[in-house]
Structure 1
């Protein structure tokens, strides 16, 4: 087996890039030049984002396969494009590679990249490889297109708060991985939700194509409460959510019950759900529900937007609980 040093930077780039087989039909230049080049379509916005995953901060090499890591690295970046109502089109990947990383590991990592690129029809069109003194890291830049832009700013008092999918699964999956408890179908479902999330590109496209007045949107990466705070701060509003409407998976409910784990902290502050959290006026709800039912994807109203005054949760017993911002994930 050849070592990275034997291949050299450009030999490694050629070896890895040859594994990526999706190429956008409108690409002018892809991997192999100083820049990628493609035409810009009139009547659409370009949306651009970048995200980094760092060893021992976002993942542990001892608990995740390189193929899975490759899929997750791209998926979390595609989720940012979805959060803006966009469709991802191109990505660029930078790798920081320490000596402990093998060529075989990188080939498997790129196999994961290739799966996501093919599934979402996204072209990996360039990037960079650098040596790293200790930890392995991945930086992904993603470019997408959108007919309409959904941002965090725009929610108004009276709007309703919706979320796709279920909440807390990823956080509980991480907890199981940390305790090395991955037995049975429920555990596998939860750990997969953490290690191999699905970006809600399909759901974002439904919203983008519709005539529904989406007043604000964000993806839930740092936790429901913290990301709802981002919307409230940007829009200068408050919010109230309802405990009995928070969508929980059967797998989470069963696992929490068996292990005596309180589910609410996972659901409110766990993070890395990568679901879409968005607001809209009440007169758009029927259209929203109709389109999501037709697409067979889950969406749930979990609250409402209020005048400025923070975020609270109406508990099942009818009392109100103030939800502070700082309980979600924060790098620093």
Structure 2
């Protein structure tokens, strides 16, 4: 049997150089473009500075593709065995009440180590290790439904930008790596997951009220139509979004790329991939470099939620199916099934 190829990488960091093992460097991860595991790890080293800022001390789920994008991926919500002692963790609590010690990177070498373990997407929680019950980041996922595309998401994102400004929040957009757009806003870690989710619901409802023909918060797919879904449940505990700079498990090896509001209307998501992004970062810098300095609060958005509940009868919305029944949540039943049940009862 041939010896397994191992390359030792020296990765600088805040506590000095780390040695990271790169195994099977020539294994092809993206067959359509011939991109290898070595190229993926080298990509992550090239974007290590801004990506470390994004992930710093955040509990992070790892979406691993040990056999490349043609294989079966899986999420690692607990730190994989065999991690070096310098790879940090954070204790998180799931909706079920169970806990886990999750990967929480603090330096570039930790990202390189995870990439060597077959990680493509890094999915950080919106919290820091110091307080994993209070988010410091509000996130909104704009998900184009069948019949819509990235251009539709851009149009809805422009309205979201206006609403965030009115809420006193600074939004930072990025491509999802696919057809969608993610918008993040830094907030003070003073509110619970439930409160932050309600703030997202209130903001999303305001967007939908202005462009009802383009945007929806309807949880059930049968009600969304050809509109962009503002996925408020990505703000629920243990729901995560691929980070900025993450490589997506798609044939072109696209990347979730930070952009500005000014450039968003003109970008093409497919232009950002493992091969192109390092040069773009070197040329243009990090579009989200100022994010940590723009911290806001959700007081206004929570006032909107309370007003919607009081004046319009609009309160909580359904949680994902794996969640326990939550306070104030409406029936978690697909509308067509609920109607069929009523008809049968009649």
Normalised to the residue count of structure 1, the TM-score between the two structures is 0.36
Structure with greater helix share of residues:
1
Greater RCO between the two (CA within 8 Å, min separation 6)? 1
Normalised to the residue count of structure 2, the TM-score between the two structures is 0.35
